[in-house]
């Protein structure tokens, strides 16, 4: 694994970890997430880093699944979760 790939994994983990712990209630939270996604894309140069682009898509797909059909996920670590 090269340095760019390692950096992409770390940045993707940090992005997901930050937002997985947040239960979105307001439009401002969604806008802040969008800003973080844009920052990730720029910092990881996703146009030239296919791994970073795929990791970002995976994070967005996971977030989409967590909020599908108006659902709100239980906090991570909650015993007995049915959102997985």
Domain boundaries, the chain: 3-70
**pLDDT tens per residue, range 22-35:** 899 999 999 999 99
What's the rounded Cα separation, in Å, for the pair 49 and 2? 11
Question: Distance from CA of residue 60 to its chain's centroid?
Answer: 5
First-residue to last-residue Cα distance in the chain? 30
Identify the pLDDT of residue 48. Answer: 94
Distance CA 73, CA 67 (A): 7
| CA-to-CA dists, residue 53 to 14, 37, 73, 75, angstroms | 15, 11, 25, 26
Residues in the chain with pLDDT < 70?
A: 75-84
Spatial distance between the Cα atoms of 70 and 64, rounded to a whole number of angstroms: 10
Q: What is the pLDDT of residue 74?
A: 73
pLDDT value, residue 76: 61
């Amino acid at each position: 694994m090269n340095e760019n790939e390692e950096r992409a994994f770390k940045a993707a983990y940090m992005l997901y970890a930050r937002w997985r712990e947040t239960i979105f209630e307001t439009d401002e939270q969604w806008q802040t997430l969008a800003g973080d996604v844009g920052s990730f894309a720029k910092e990881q140069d996703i146009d030239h880093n296919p791994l970073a682009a795929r990791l970002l898509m995976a994070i967005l797909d996971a977030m989409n699944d967590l909020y599908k059909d108006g659902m709100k996920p239980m906090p991570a670590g909650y015993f007995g979760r049915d959102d997985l």
